[in-house]
Structure 1
Amino acid sequence: MKILVAGATGNTGLRLTQELKDRGHDPVALVRESSDTSALPDGVETRLGDLADLDQGVTHGCEAVVFAAGSGGDTSEEMTDKIDRDGAIRLIELCEQSDVRRFVMLSSVGADDPDPEGELAHYLKAKHDADERLKQSPLDYAILRPVSLTDDGPTGEVVLGDEVDPQAKAARGDVAVLLADATLQDEWTGRIALMQST
């Protein structure tokens, strides 16, 4: 399967790209002209595209898309909106207009009901809006909402659903494995899952 990965050069996206390749699929890394692509797995196709201004053909030939990008909680509100909300929604729209049938969103714990007084209020509201747009889409979708991320590799020990502790941690390695599962496994279709590592 050819799978477009938005955020492929980020800490989680790199792990996901490798995971998809290891499983025998063809990840396509969505990168900007300024992106450092040196850490991408050998032979991975790259496709130029800026989430703040995506071109029509960016999803061409892909069967699935994973949005693993994020401005992070430390950028300006304007950039957060451009990437985490508007960029994600634009990519969803492009998928709807193409042959893409599956869209997997890397979201965040708290995006279901953002606390307007919280430290990450604007970031979580942007994630919330993108998630809601995806849920309204005819695409087969899955949404993964991890707790605070660490740079650890996969532990293989995760908790999903209502038992997740919002104050816990999630290893990026585990997140990458679950994003790959959500992309490739039908049982993830329509699923919205909180997750943490144990």
Structure 2
Amino acid sequence: MKKTLIIGASGQIGKKLTQLMLNDGNDVVALVRDKSKLSDITDKNLHVIEADLTGNFGHAFKQCTNVVFVAGSGGETGADKTILIDLWAACRSADYAKENAVKHFILVSSIGADAPSTGPESIQPYLIAKHVADEHLMRSGLHYSIVRPGTLTNDDAKGKFTTERPAQKGDATVTREDVAKALLFIVNNPSKENTLTELFNGSKNISETFK
């Protein structure tokens, strides 16, 4: 059975993705800093590994076919944590994946990572971190899918998507649950080509969005 490593499995999107993948019958390795945050999920196909992303976590990649990096430092932390997690841990994850011959690396980035200097000054360190992590993965030689979601919301899933950036900034949003559903689809239906996709709620079904 294919085994998928989810890095940041206890985060807001990561936990939703973990549950969706288990519901779908996938074998999941959940890498978390505090395993108690997944104590409410029990499944024979769930393997939890506790590790700090600022330390050595290469052992988590062994025998994994896919990797989904959905970890983030969080909006309440400073630029130091952003650099350590969103940039450095993401880059190291790509390196570990290559060492372990991972078949597909899926990275959750952010809208605006293509041009960090044009974003609001307050989030430029975050966008720069995402930009550098994206570039590192693209140069890694790994088969990759980079997803750049719009502004994240906690609304109920809409189940409809678009990869075209809306004209109005206020419409450039996507629910966290829909991001998780998109990641599940990408894991189960990997593109033959490397992809970099912006993602928003829209009018298309998931299969139309990632055809």
TM-score norm. by structure 2 comes to 0.86
Asked whether the 8 Å contact 2:110–2:150 carries over to 1, the reply is: yes
Task: Give the residue type in structure 2 aligned to 1:28.
Answer: V
5+ long unaligned stretches in structure 2: 203-211
Q: Give the aligned partner of residue 57 of structure 1.
A: 59
Aligned 1:133-172 pairs, distance under 5 A: 133-163=136-166, 166-167=169-170, 168-172=172-176
Q: CA deviation at 1:116?
A: 5.8
Aligned-partner SS, 1:142: strand
Query: How far apart, in 2, do the equivalents of 1:17 and 1:104 lie?
Result: 14
Range with greater deviation from structure 2 (52-61 or 92-101): 52-61
Tell me how many residue pairs correspond in the alignment.
Answer: 198
Query: How far apart, in 2, do the equivalents of 1:164 and 1:146 lie?
Result: 15
Q: Give the aligned partner of residue 70 of structure 1.
A: 72
Aligned-partner SS, 1:20: helix
Query: How far apart, in 2, do the equivalents of 1:62 and 1:128 lie?
Result: 25
Q: CA deviation at 1:166?
A: 4.3
5+ long unaligned stretches in structure 1: none
Q: Give the aligned partner of residue 129 of structure 1.
A: 132
Query: How far apart, in 2, do the equivalents of 1:61 and 1:6 lie?
Result: 15
Aligned-partner SS, 2:38: coil
Aligned-partner SS, 1:69: coil
Residues 139, 103 of structure 1: CA spacing in aligned structure 2 closer, same or farther, 3 A cutoff?
Answer: same
Task: Give the residue type in structure 1 aligned to 2:105.
Answer: F
Q: Residues 27-74 of structure 1, C-alpha deviation per residue, up to 9 Å, x if partnerless?
A: 111012465222335332101221111333220111010001101233
Q: Give the aligned partner of residue 110 of structure 1.
A: 112
Task: Give the residue type in structure 2 aligned to 1:2.
Answer: K
Aligned-partner SS, 1:130: helix
Q: Give the aligned partner of residue 198 of structure 2.
A: 194
User: Which protein has the bigger helix share?
Assistant: 2
Aligned-partner SS, 2:17: helix
Asked whether the 8 Å contact 1:32–1:49 carries over to 2, the reply is: yes
Aligned-partner SS, 1:27: strand
